[in-house]
Amino acid sequence: MSARKNLPPKFKIKRGDTVKVITGDDKGKTGKVIKVMPKEAKVIVEGVNIVKKAVKPTEENPKGGFITIEKPIHISNVKKVEGWGDVWSKRKIHKRSKTKTCRRIWY
């Protein structure tokens, strides 16, 4: 039996990382991860997937109206940005011989 049977999956994207959206309406936008939801496999990214939400009148906001919030997007639609600003990398590990391996990074 697996030890991780009832635990949520692990992801390489953590809170505070800078990510770039690779698909969807906000394709090409870059932002910081605010929250990671591993059970749903979603992330909330600052400045991405912004929607307007209707708010009823309350004591704090007597008029009500609309507020803008960031909605979660699927974790497969973002890619971690490493290194210099807007550049993201692809990593590949290949064998040079029977005993040596080499890691190659493209920017």
Task: Report pLDDT digits (tens) over 85-95.
Answer: 555 555 556 56
- The pLDDT of 39-60, averaged and rounded, is 94
Report the mean per-residue pLDDT for the chain: 82
Percentage of the chain with pLDDT > 70?
A: 73
At 80, phi and psi to the nearest 5? -70, 135
At 78, phi and psi to the nearest 5? -125, 155
At 37, phi and psi to the nearest 5? -115, 90
Burial class (CB within 10 angstroms; exposed 0-12, middle 13-18, buried 19+) of 24:
middle
How much is the CA Rg of the chain, to the nearest whole Å?
Answer: 19
18-81+88-106: CATH class: mainly beta
pLDDT at residue number 47? 94
Q: pLDDT-based confidence at 56, cuts 50/70/90?
A: very high
Please give the full DSSP string across 55-75, using - where no structure is assigned.
Answer: E---SSSTT-EEEEEEPPEEG
Element (H, E) at 53: strand 50-55
Q: Does residue 5 carry a pLDDT above 90?
A: no
Residue with the larger pLDDT of the pair 7 and 53? 53
